[in-house]
Amino acid sequence: QVQLVESGGGLVQAGGSLRLSCAASGRTLSSLIMYFMGWFRQAPGKDREFVAGISWRGGSTYYVDSAKGRFTISRDIAKNTVYLQMDSLRPEDTAVYYCAGRSGTMNYRASEYTSWGQGTQVTVSS
């Protein structure tokens, strides 16, 4: 089982930037035939939504429309870590951000992910 730990959340003004990190342990992700890492977020009273994802071996990336051009997902294979660089942040980006992993290909549905981090709060003030 893969364990995930996020870091890097905080309070930032609108237009600012944050970089989230998610360190995986328990398995070396590159040893898995097919593994996909995603970032999700959940605002109060709302469902958890997919924000961005990356296929671990091939590096293909995927973004929700609201994140395109502002967020960048990347991975460091040697460190078993995935990142989410968030620029031009908006108040509506305020949420708890979670990283998640699943064996297989890209999937938008949170229910399809088997490993989850504890979440990190991102607050964007106007």
Q: Which of 70, 65, 74 has the alpha carbon at shortest distance from 99? A: 74
Nearest to 102 by CA among 21, 59, 38: 38
Across the range 80-100, mean pLDDT stands at 97
Is a pLDDT exceeding 80 seen at residue 33? no
- pLDDT for 32: 81
Block residue for tokens 């992910």 = 113
Mean pLDDT taken over the chain: 95
Q: Are 96 and 120 in contact (CB under 8 A)?
A: yes
Q: Tell me the pLDDT tens digit for each residue of 36-81.
A: 999 999 999 999 999 999 999 999 999 999 999 999 999 999 999 9
Tell the burial category of 85 from Cβ atoms under 10 Å away from its Cβ (0-12, 13-18, 19+).
middle
**Rounded CA separation 79/94 (Å):** 28
Tell me the per-residue pLDDT of 107-122, one tens digit each, with 9 for 90 and over.
Answer: 999 999 999 999 999 9
Nearest 5°: the CA angle 89, 52, 72 is 55
